[in-house]
Amino acid sequence: MKWLKGVLGVGLVVAVVSYLVAFLSVLSVSRQDQARPVSAIVVLGAAQYNGKPSPVLKARLDHAAQLYADSVAPLIVLTGGVATGDKASEAEAAAAYLAQSVPSPVLVVLPTGRTTDESIAAAAEWCRGYDITDIVVVSDPFHMLRVRLEARRHGLTAYTSPTRSSPISAHLNRELPYLFAEAAKVLVAGTRNW
Element of type H or E holding 135: strand 134-138
CA pair distance 127, 14, nearest whole angstrom: 38
Mean pLDDT over residues 28-46, rounded? 96
- pLDDT higher than threshold 80 for residue 59: yes
The answer to whether the beta carbons of residues 45 and 140 sit under 8 Å apart is no
Q: Could you give all domains of the chain from N- to C-terminal order, each with its CATH number?
A: 34-190 (3.40.50.620)
The answer to whether the beta carbons of residues 42 and 123 sit under 8 Å apart is yes
CA pair distance 140, 124, nearest whole angstrom: 20
DSSP annotation string for 95-118 = HHHHTTTS-GGGEEEE---SSHHH
Q: What is the pLDDT of residue 194?
A: 45
Q: Are strands 76-79 and 40-43 parallel, antiparallel or unpaired?
A: parallel
% of the chain surpassing 90 pLDDT: 77
Q: 83 falls in which pLDDT band (50, 70, 90)?
A: confident
Instruction: Name the nearest CA neighbour of 160 among 8, 29, 11.
Output: 29
The answer to whether the beta carbons of residues 84 and 114 sit under 8 Å apart is no
CA pair distance 65, 136, nearest whole angstrom: 12
pTM equals: 0.91
